[in-house]
């Protein structure tokens, strides 16, 4: 391998891992929601868009850095998500219908309303937060003068990645150590059993949807400095979240992280070595292959236990 080829490979790998970390955070919210409620939430990306608008306006009006907005947007999104579950999805689960997939269409409706309201209020302008550090980066040659290859690490991408890791660890602790977290996991594993054990399943659903929304809200804030914002941005991230959820295994935190990283690296490698136009195909091929050959996702390999039948 010539130095140039090595440089291309390593730089691609770095890009893939950074992207994967952020993808994982988007996927985490969905994996929780799908794991606990078996609900396909097609409004996931739109919730992220809402959080991004919150972070954007915080930046424009009060000069609050998007990274600090994580602490504002996440609680707001938690409330929004909880409200959606309590006032829209819970009542719908009660009504009798032939197909259980009604709820998917409900989330489509919610997504439509959110995206269109954003267009009405904020116009369809593309926006971004022009932070000073947007293009700052660390370069290998700055640390190691004689380096035969040049690698770079973007500052905002790295910060977003670290934030994502931090949030993931916090979530893992919450699910593993707290009572609420344990109840959520119990609901995910067996709703009826959890009900018998005295878990307030309805409440847990509301909390879970709230946390799921809060997580994707945090992801939105972390994406803002490196990406941009417009009302109809949600769709593509919803799809990415699905892929990660399936890749990682429903309801599995660790699975979502590994799934996100795999997807990030896979997409980057496809872009470099096959062609960027094909990257989305690769994404869905991995997805379908995983559905068929590894229905429990990465989590099933880790735990030898199958979720989400």
Partner 1 sequence: MTQESAKVQKSKVKSQKSIPPYPTLIILAILAVLPLTGLSSYMMHIFILVIMWAVIGMAWNLLGGYCGQVSFGHAAYFGVGAYTAGILYSKLGLSPWWGIPLSIIVVALFSFVLGFIVLRLRGPFFALATLASGEVMRVTAENLQPLTGGTLGILVQERTWIVKTWYYYVILAIAAGTFFLVKKLIESKLGYYFVAIREDQDAAESLGINTTLYKTLALCISGVLTGIAGAFYTNYMGYIDPHVAFALHDISIITIMIVMVGGVATFWGPFAGAVIMVLLAEYIRSMPGLGAAHQTLFGILLIVIIIFLPNGIVGDFPKLKRLLGLRSASQ
Partner 2 sequence: MKRLSFVILLFFIACLFAVDVFAAENLELSIPLPLTGAQAKFGEMEKKSYEIAAEEINAKGGIKGRKVVLTFEDSQGKPEISRSIVEKLIDVKKQPVIIGEYSSSSSKAVAAVANERKVPYLVVTGADDSITQQNYKYVFRMNPSNAYYATGLVSFLKEVVKPQSIAILYESSDFGTSGADDMAKQAEKIGMKVLVKEKYEKGAVDFKPILTKVKAERPDMIYMVSYVMDASLLMKQIKELRVDAKLFAGGAAGFAIPEFVDNAKDAAEYVVTATLWCTMAKYPGASEFAEKYKKLYGDYPSYHGAEAYSALYITKDVLERAKSMGPEDIREAMKATNIMTAFGPVKFEDKEGYQNQNFMDTLVLQVINGKHHCIWPEKYASKKYIYPIPVWRERK
Binding flag, residue 159, partner 2 (CB under 8 A): no
Binding flag, residue 285, partner 1 (CB under 8 A): yes
Binding flag, residue 292, partner 1 (CB under 8 A): yes
Residues 213-252 that bind partner 1 (CB under 8 A): 235, 239, 242-243, 246
Tell me the torsion sign for CA atoms 276, 277, 278, 279: positive
Interface mask toward partner 2 for 224-253; x: CB under 8 A: --xxx-x-xx--x-----------------
Interface mask toward partner 1 for 99-138; x: CB under 8 A: xxxx-xxx-xxxxxx-xxx-xx------------------
Residues 69-98 that bind partner 1 (CB under 8 A): 88, 91-92, 95-98
Size of residue set near partner 1 by CB under 8 A: 47
Cα gap 146→160, rounded to integer Å? 30
Element containing residue 96 per DSSP (H, E): none
Size of residue set near partner 2 by CB under 8 A: 44
The least CB distance from residue 18 to partner 2, in Å, is 8
Pick what 269 binds: partner 2, partner 1, none; C-beta below 5 to 8 Å, kind-dependent: partner 2
Candidate segments 66-74, 93-101, 206-214, 276-284, binder of partner 2 by CB under 8 A: 276-284
The least CB distance from residue 54 to partner 1, in Å, is 19
Six token digits for residue 107: 């989330």
β-partners of residue 138 are 153
Binding flag, residue 277, partner 2 (CB under 8 A): yes
Q: Tell me the three-class secondary structure of 147-192, residue by residue.
A: CCCCCEEEHHHHHHHHHHHHHHHHHHHHHHHCHHHHHHHHHHHCHH
Cα gap 41→242, rounded to integer Å? 9
Burial of 67 (0-12, 13-18, 19+ CB in 10 A): middle
Pick what 65 binds: partner 2, partner 1, none; C-beta below 5 to 8 Å, kind-dependent: none
Determine which residue in the list 62, 126, 144, 284 makes contact with partner 2, applying CB under 8 A: 126
Q: Annotate 27-42 with DSSP letters as a single string.
A: HHHHHHHHHHH----T
The least CB distance from residue 242 to partner 1, in Å, is 6
Residue with tokens 């291309």: 8
Cα gap 256→299, rounded to integer Å? 8
Candidate segments 1-9, 34-42, 67-75, 180-188, binder of partner 1 by CB under 8 A: 34-42
**CA-based end-to-end distance of the chain:** 45
Q: Annotate 225-268 with DSSP letters as a single string.
A: TTS-B-GGGHHHHHHHHHHHHHHH-TT-HHHHHHHHHHHHHHHH
Q: Report the chain's C-alpha Rg in angstroms.
A: 20
Residues in contact with partner 1 by CB under 8 A are 34, 38, 40, 42, 88, 91-92, 95-102, 104-106, 108-113, 115-117, 119-120, 235, 239, 242-243, 246, 275, 277-278, 280-281, 284-285, 287-288, 291-292, 295, 308
């Amino acid at each position: 391998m010539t130095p140039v080829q090595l440089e291309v490979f390593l730089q691609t790998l770095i890009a893939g891992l950074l992207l994967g970390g952020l993808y994982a955070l988007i996927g985490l919210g969905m994996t929780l929601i799908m794991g606990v409620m078996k609900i396909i939430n097609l409004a996931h990306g739109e919730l992220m868009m809402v959080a991004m608008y919150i972070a954007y306006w915080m930046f424009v009006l009060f000069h609050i850095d998007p990274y600090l907005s994580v602490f504002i947007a996440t609680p707001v999104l938690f409330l929004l998500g909880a409200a959606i579950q309590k006032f829209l999805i819970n009542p719908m689960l009660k009504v009798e219908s032939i197909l259980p997939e009604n709820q998917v269409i409900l989330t489509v409706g919610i997504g439509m309303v959110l995206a269109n309201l954003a267009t009405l209020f904020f116009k369809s302008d593309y926006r971004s937060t022009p932070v000073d550090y947007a293009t700052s980066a660390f370069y290998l040659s700055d640390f190691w003068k004689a380096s035969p290859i040049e690698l770079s690490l973007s500052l905002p991408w790295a910060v977003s990645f670290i934030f994502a890791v931090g949030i993931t660890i916090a979530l893992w602790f919450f699910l593993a150590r707290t009572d609420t977290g344990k109840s959520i996991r119990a609901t995910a594993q067996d709703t009826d059993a959890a009900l018998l054990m005295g878990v307030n399943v309805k409440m847990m659903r509301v909390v879970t949807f709230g946390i799921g929304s809060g997580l994707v809200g945090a992801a939105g804030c972390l994406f803002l400095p490196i990406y941009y914002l417009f009302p109809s941005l949600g769709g593509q991230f919803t799809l990415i979240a699905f892929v990660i959820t399936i890749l990682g295994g429903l309801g599995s935190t660790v699975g979502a992280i590994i799934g996100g990283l795999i997807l990030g690296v896979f997409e980057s490698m496809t872009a470099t070595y096959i062609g960027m136009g094909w990257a989305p195909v690769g994404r869905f091929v991995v997805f379908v292959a995983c559905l068929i050959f590894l229905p429990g996702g990465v989590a099933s390999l880790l735990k030898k236990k199958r979720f989400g039948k």
